[in-house]
Chain A
Amino acid sequence: MGFFDGFRVTIRQVFEPRVTHQYPDEKRPKPPRFHGRHVLGRYEDGMEKCIGCELCAGVCPARCIYVRGADNPPDAPVSPGERFGFVYEINYLRCIHCDLCVEACPTEAITESKLFEFSFVDRQDAIYTKQELVVDDEGRPRHLPWEDWRPGDDAHTSGWMRATSPNGDAAFEGRVQWSAELGYGVRHPEAGQVGDRDDEATGNISIREVDAADIPHRYGGRYR
Chain B
Amino acid sequence: MAKSFSSTLSVLFSLRTVPVLTLMVFLLPVLAGLFSTIFPAFGYLPAIGQVSFTTAAWTQLFAHPALPNALLTSVSSGIIATLLSLILSLTFVAAWQGTNSFKRARQLLAPILAIPHSALAIGLAFLIAPSGWITRTISPWATGWERPPDIAVIHDEWGLSLILGLMIKETPYLLLMIVAALDQSQAKQRLKLAKTLGYHPVSAWIKGVLPVIYKQIRLPIYAVLAFSLSVVDIALILGPTTPPTLSILVLRWFNDPDLSYRTIAAAGALLQLGVVVGVIFLWWATEKAVSRLTRRWLANGKRSFAETPVRIFSRISLNSIFVLFFGSLLVIVFWSFTRRWQYPDFLPSVWSIQSWDRNINNLLWSSSATLIIGLISSLIAVILVIACLENEKRRKKSAGTGALWLVYLPLMIPQVSFLFGVQVLTIKAGIDATWLAMIWGHLLFVLPYVFLSLTDPYRQHDDRYIKVALSMGVSPTRAFWRIRLPMLLRPLLFALAIGFAVSVAQYLPTLFIGGGRFSTLTTEAVNLSASGNRRIIAVYALLQALLPLLCFATALALPNVIFRNRRTLREH
Answer yes or no: are A and B bound together in one complex: no
A residues sitting closer than 8 Å to B (CB atoms) are: none
B residues sitting closer than 8 Å to A (CB atoms) are: none
